[in-house]
């Protein structure tokens, strides 16, 4: 294509000379040789201006020959008799060549400037497209598309090397070229940074080889791509470091909290068992029962603690995938109360869940955990004998609202949000038992289900509220037809 | 029933083995213990126990595999005893042929109750199926399709009866959602746990004294359902 385009330019230059020759021929009687010679400068100037140096010089030579042939006596020969004519012809040729050269150079440098501008724009586009990308694969995709568009390549492969294994993923643009364009690539370019080779660009362009300029531009593209990939690597490393730091902090506060929490029930168990075993005291039946109950309750407490810690680590690592099923909230709440058994006997419990409340798509065990934690938290802070209520209702077309309220003390407004943070306590740690994980686990679970959890003070009440979506993949539960 | 049922316990924790041996022997069971899967399989084949208590985490193989290998030749009741509490583990074990599943730590009363149910169920399975099954005030006649509560007949729809009959025929055993749905609605609807919730709700309303706190039609959280019958 490019060769054909160049040929056309030369063709146009010759054509311009012939057109002028034709017109000058028509008026040759009215015009002197000098004027015709001046006229002949026109196609030369036009060719040089429009099509560059080469066509300009070609036009100058053609003009020189046709002027000589058609207008300088003896006519229709290329020979010249008068010295004066010879001189004006030579001067014409020199003029024409110099003018076309000057114009052509200006033209060429304009073209070059335009090309540079184009490159700069391309590069700008590329770097804009690459900014903000946070995925190696996306970067490779953008890079491949930009290269393909800029260099009109038949096929671009970008191979990303993963740091671990050396060989990495490969991406081809356009996709169909994977089978259409085969064979050895015309060019292979590494994507190199200070950290080493991050990948390769393979380019197939079968019709014309890359010019030096294009090669330079492609190198810059490759560098840009490499830098973008490196940036991602650095960001990821930084994130990892931050996560590690955070989890380190978590672990140490967990350890201090847990060791205290685990020892308390262990102390009770140990004391009770050693009392029962020692032959020093004769225990009556009631005392024996008390000690045994204490052991059993503390064992359950320990088990719950371990469960909480496990849940927390699952939430931390994002491994909390709710196994959604259509479940009845009423059933879950009743099951939880049954399981919690004696630990809730200190309070009065009221459950107000309408029987026509639709089934909700939740993980049964995780929701059990939420209710267990909210209820045991309520029982812990509300005075014994007071009422704990569980309510549920439809909040909107999309959400169900659940409330767990107790008659415990109000929590200062500034703590209302923070109580769902890990290890946050309103009261000093040594005054209340618990790992400080319960509410943050509730938050983790509710949010994993696509809901929201918060707490409110109301006159005489402290209320936990959370929402749960009613739809699962945009659907309500499908109910069977009676057979 | 054999006056001294023989129980094989397969678990790799010596503390648990010691505790279970002591407790079960005190309850008049004959107890054999194994701490590895292969050893357990051999003992099961040579001693033909009446019931197997199986841990899922064994040093040489997964408990689920042991369960599968046992089911190749025997219908001996298997109760899984494991620290794994995920729904998936439970459902897998039950689908591979286990009869029941208990999470560690467990209450010994709970374990003994499950053992009694399992032994009774296997004794029934050996004889002909009992045509009438009773659970508290509820009585289910599988042959004549009649359900009564305190002697009064309760009208059930076709699906409700099918569901109840399946639970009754497997009384005491944990049935997974999948198993019940496949049996009652067919394999195409095996994912629609919501059907079960609705129908179990209806059954409880008709049969239980307080449908909110069922005594016989029990939910196994995240796993399935179980009909508790008279011991």
Q: CB–CB of B185 and A480 under 8 A?
A: yes
Q: Which of A303, A327, A334 sits opposite B197 (nearest CB)?
A: A327
Q: How does pLDDT run across B172-221, given as a tens digit for each residue?
A: 888 888 889 888 888 777 778 888 888 998 899 999 888 888 889 988 87
Q: How far is CA A340 from CA A129, A373, A376, A444, in A?
A: 56, 10, 9, 21
B184 in Cβ contact with B176 (< 8 Å): no
At residue A465, the pLDDT reads 95
Band (pLDDT 50/70/90 cuts) for residue B65 is very high
Separation of alpha carbons A260 and A433, rounded Å: 9
- Predicted confidence at residue B41, as pLDDT, reads 93
**Residue of A311, A322, A326 to mutate when probing chain B, most B C-beta within 10 A:** A326
Q: What percent of chain B stands above pLDDT 70?
A: 95
Mean predicted confidence (pLDDT) in A220-246: 85
Going by pLDDT thresholds of 50, 70 and 90, the confidence category of residue A400 is very high
pLDDT > 70: percent of chain A: 94
Task: Provide the pLDDT for residue B222.
Answer: 77
pLDDT of B231 strictly over 60: no
How far does the CA of residue A273 sit from the closest CA of chain B (Å)? 16
pLDDT tens-digit series, residues A38-85: 888 888 888 877 887 788 888 888 888 888 888 887 888 877 777 877
- Cβ of A480 within 8 Å of Cβ of B197? The answer is no
How many CB atoms neighbour CB B14 within 10 A? 10
Contact list in B for residue A363 (CB cut-off 8 A) is 222
Residue among B15, B19, B24 nearest B50 (CA): B24
The interface residues of chain A toward chain B in range 81-120, judged by CB-CB distance below 8 A, are none
Could you give the CA distance from residue B91 to residue A364 in angstroms, rounded to a whole number? 14
A248 CA: distance to closest CA in chain B (Å): 26
Question: Which of A331, A478, A480 has its CB closest to that of B219?
Answer: A331
Q: Do A328 and B193 touch (CB under 8 A)?
A: no
Contacts of B219 in chain A (CB under 8 A): 331, 335
Mean per-residue pLDDT of chain A: 83
Q: What is the mean pLDDT of residues A180-193?
A: 82
Q: What is the mean pLDDT of residues B95-118?
A: 87
Distance from CA of B214 to the nearest CA of A (A): 9
Chain B positions touching chain A (beta carbons under 8 Å): 85, 87-88, 105, 107, 157-159, 177, 185, 189, 192-195, 197-199, 201, 212-213, 219, 221-222
Indicate if the pLDDT at residue A134 is higher than 90.
no
**B43 pLDDT tier (thresholds 50, 70, 90):** very high
Q: Comparing A4 with A125, which gets the higher pLDDT?
A: A125
The string of pLDDT tens digits covering residues A430-480 is 555 566 778 888 998 999 899 999 999 999 899 999 999 998 888 888 776
In angstroms, the first-to-last Cα distance of chain B is 13
Please report the pLDDT score of residue A435 as a whole number.
64
Mean pLDDT of A359-367: 89
Compute the distance between CA of residue A170 and CA of residue A157 in angstroms, rounded to an integer.
7
Residues of B in contact with A390 (CB under 8 A): none
Average pLDDT of the segment spanning A285-313 = 83
Q: In the prediction, which pLDDT does A452 show? A: 94
- Mean pLDDT over residues B10-34, rounded? 91
**Residues of chain B with C-beta less than 8 angstroms from the C-beta of A326:** 192-194, 197
Q: Per-residue pLDDT averaged across A124-150, rounded?
A: 83
Q: Does A157 touch chain B (CB under 8 A)?
A: no
Which residue in B163, B192, B194 has the most chain A C-beta atoms within 10 A of its own C-beta, making it the best mutation to test that interface?
B194
Q: Which of A184, A173, A175 is nearest to A143 (CA)?
A: A173
| Closest-CA distance of chain A to residue B168, Å | 20
CB-nearest to B194 from A307, A330, A478 is: A478
Average pLDDT over residues B11-22: 89
Residue A165, pLDDT > 60, answer: no
A338 CA: distance to closest CA in chain B (Å): 8
Nearest CA in chain A to B104: A303
B158 and A479 within 8 Å at the Cβ level: the answer is no
Report d(CA A181, CA A1) in Å as an integer: 19
Assess whether pLDDT exceeds 80 at residue A104.
Answer: no
- Which chain A residues contact residue B88 at CB under 8 A? 323
pLDDT at A306 over 60: yes
Nearest residue in A to B85, CA atom? A365
The nearest alpha carbon in chain B to A300 belongs to B105
- Whether A364 has its CB under 8 Å from any CB of chain B: the answer is yes
The H or E element containing residue A166 is: none
CB contact under 8 A, A323 and B88: yes
Q: How far is A143 from chain B (nearest CA, A)?
A: 44
Q: How far apart are CA A130 and CA A230, in angstroms?
A: 12
Query: Range with the lowest mean pLDDT among A240-254, B109-123, B150-164?
Result: A240-254
**A352 CB within 8 Å of a chain B CB:** no
pTM, to two decimals: 0.58
Q: Which SS3 state, helix, strand or coil, does residue B71 take?
A: helix
DSSP character at residue B222: T
pLDDT at A163: 61
Q: Which of A351, A365, A477 sits opposite B194 (nearest CB)?
A: A477
pLDDT band at A124 (very low <50, low <70, confident <90, very high): confident
Decide if A71 contacts A23 (C-beta within 8 A): no
Q: Is the pLDDT of residue A166 over 70?
A: no
Q: What is the per-residue pLDDT for A464?
A: 94
User: Band of the pLDDT at A352, cuts 50, 70, 90?
Assistant: very high
- Predicted pLDDT at A432: 56
A424 band by pLDDT with thresholds 50, 70 and 90: low
Whether pLDDT at A398 is above 80: yes
- Which pLDDT belongs to residue B78? 93
The per-residue pLDDT for A1 is 57
Residue A403: the pLDDT is 95
**Predicted local distance difference test score (pLDDT) of residue A350:** 92
Positive or negative, the CA dihedral A362, A363, A366, A372 is positive
Give the per-residue pLDDT at B2: 52
**The pLDDT value given to residue B87:** 76
Condensed to tens digits (0 to 9), the pLDDT of residues B125-175 reads: 665 566 788 888 888 888 888 899 988 998 999 889 999 999 988 888 888
Packing angle of the helix pair B193-207, B158-169 (nearest 10 deg) = 90
Q: Three-state SS for B153? A: strand
Best mutation site among B214, B215, B222, B226 for testing chain A: the one with the most A CBs within 10 Å? B222
Max avg pLDDT among B27-36, B96-105, B190-199: B27-36
The per-residue pLDDT for B11 is 92
CB < 8 Å from B in window 244-303 of A: 296, 299, 303
Q: Is A327 on the interface with B (CB under 8 A)?
A: yes
What pLDDT band is residue B8 in, cutting at 50, 70 and 90? Answer: very high
- The arithmetic mean of pLDDT across residues A250-272, rounded, is 78
- Please judge whether B158 and A299 are an interchain contact, meaning their C-beta atoms are less than 8 angstroms apart: no
Q: Does A324 touch chain B (CB under 8 A)?
A: no
Nearest to B194 among A307, A479, A482 (CB): A479
Strand partners, A389: A350, A405
Phi-psi region of A166 (alpha: psi -120 to 50; beta: other; left: phi over 0): left
| Confidence band for A259, pLDDT divided at 50, 70 and 90 | confident
Q: What is the mean pLDDT of residues A233-259?
A: 79
Please report which confidence band the pLDDT of residue A218 belongs to, taking 50, 70 and 90 as the band edges: confident
């Amino acid at each position: 294509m490019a060769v054909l385009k160049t040929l056309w330019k030369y063709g146009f230059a010759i054509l311009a000379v012939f057109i002028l020759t034709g017109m000058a021929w028509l008026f040759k009687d009215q015009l002197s040789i000098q004027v015709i010679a001046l006229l002949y400068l026109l196609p030369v100037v036009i060719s040089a201006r429009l099509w560059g140096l080469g066509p300009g010089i070609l036009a100058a030579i053609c003009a020189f020959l046709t002027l000589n042939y058609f207008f300088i006596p003896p006519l229709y020969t290329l020979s010249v008799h008068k010295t004066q004519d010879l001189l004006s012809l030579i001067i014409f040729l020199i003029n024409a060549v110099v003018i076309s050269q000057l114009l052509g150079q200006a033209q060429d440098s304009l073209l070059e400037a335009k090309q540079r501008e184009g490159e700069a724009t391309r590069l700008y586009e590329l770097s804009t497209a690459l900014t903000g990308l946070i995925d190696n694969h996306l970067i490779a995709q953008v890079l491949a598309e930009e290269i393909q568009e800029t260099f009109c390549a038949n096929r671009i492969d970008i191979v990303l090397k993963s740091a671990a294994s050396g060989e990495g993923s490969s991406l081809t643009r356009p996709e169909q070229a994977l089978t259409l364009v085969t064979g050895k690539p015309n060019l292979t370019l590494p994507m190199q940074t200070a950290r080493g080779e991050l990948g390769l660009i393979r380019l197939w362009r079968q019709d014309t080889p890359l010019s030096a300029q294009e090669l330079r531009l492609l190198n810059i593209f490759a560098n840009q791509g490499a830098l973008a990939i490196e940036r991602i690597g650095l960001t990821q490393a930084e994130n990892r470091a931050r996560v590690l730091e955070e989890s380190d902090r978590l672990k140490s506060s967990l350890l201090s909290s847990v060791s205290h929490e685990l020892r308390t029930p262990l102390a009770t168990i140990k004391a009770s068992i050693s009392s029962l075993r020692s032959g020093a005291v004769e225990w009556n039946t009631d005392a024996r029962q008390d000690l045994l109950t204490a052991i059993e309750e503390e064992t359950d407490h320990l088990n719950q603690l371990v469960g909480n810690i496990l849940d927390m680590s699952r939430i931390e690592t994002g491994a909390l995938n709710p196994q959604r099923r259509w479940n009845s909230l009423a059933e879950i709440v009743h099951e939880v109360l049954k399981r919690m058994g004696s630990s809730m006997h200190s309070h009065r419990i009221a459950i107000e869940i309408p029987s026509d409340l639709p089934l909700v798509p939740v993980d049964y065990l995780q929701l059990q955990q939420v209710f267990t934690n909210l209820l045991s938290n309520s029982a812990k802070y509300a005075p014994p004998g007071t009422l704990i209520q569980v309510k549920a209702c439809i909040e909107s077309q999309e959400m169900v609202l659940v409330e767990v309220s107790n008659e415990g003390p109000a929590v200062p407004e500034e703590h209302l949000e923070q109580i769902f943070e890990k290890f946050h306590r309103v009261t000093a740690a040594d005054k209340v038992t618990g790992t400080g994980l319960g509410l943050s686990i509730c938050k983790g679970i509710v949010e994993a289900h696509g809901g929201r959890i918060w707490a409110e003070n109301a006159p005489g009440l402290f209320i936990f509220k959370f929402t749960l979506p009613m739809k699962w993949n945009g659907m309500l539960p499908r109910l069977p037809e009676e057979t | 029933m054999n006056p001294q049922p023989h129980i094989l316990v397969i678990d790799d924790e010596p503390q648990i083995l010691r505790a279970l041996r002591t407790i079960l022997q005190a309850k008049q069971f004959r107890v054999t213990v194994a701490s590895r899967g292969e050893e357990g399989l051999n003992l099961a084949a040579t001693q033909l126990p009446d019931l197997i208590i199986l841990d899922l985490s064994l040093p040489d193989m997964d408990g689920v595999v042991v369960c599968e290998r046992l089911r190749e030749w025997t219908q001996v009741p298997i109760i899984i005893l494991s620290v794994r509490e995920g729904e998936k583990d439970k459902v897998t074990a039950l689908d591979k042929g286990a009869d029941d599943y208990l999470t560690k730590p467990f209450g010994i009363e709970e374990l003994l109750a499950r053992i009694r149910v399992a032994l009774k169920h296997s004794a029934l399975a050996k004889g002909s199926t009992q045509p009438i099954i009773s659970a508290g005030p509820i009585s289910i006649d599988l042959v004549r399709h009649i359900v009564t509560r305190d002697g009064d007949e309760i009208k059930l729809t076709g699906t409700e009866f099918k569901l109840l009959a399946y639970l009754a025929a497997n009384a005491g055993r944990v049935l997974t959602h999948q198993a019940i749905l496949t049996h009652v609605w067919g394999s195409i609807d095996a994912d629609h746990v919501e059907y079960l919730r609705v129908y179990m709700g209806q059954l409880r309303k008709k049969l239980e004294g307080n449908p909110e706190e069922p005594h016989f039609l029990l939910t196994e959280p995240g796993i399935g359902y179980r009909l508790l019958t008279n011991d």
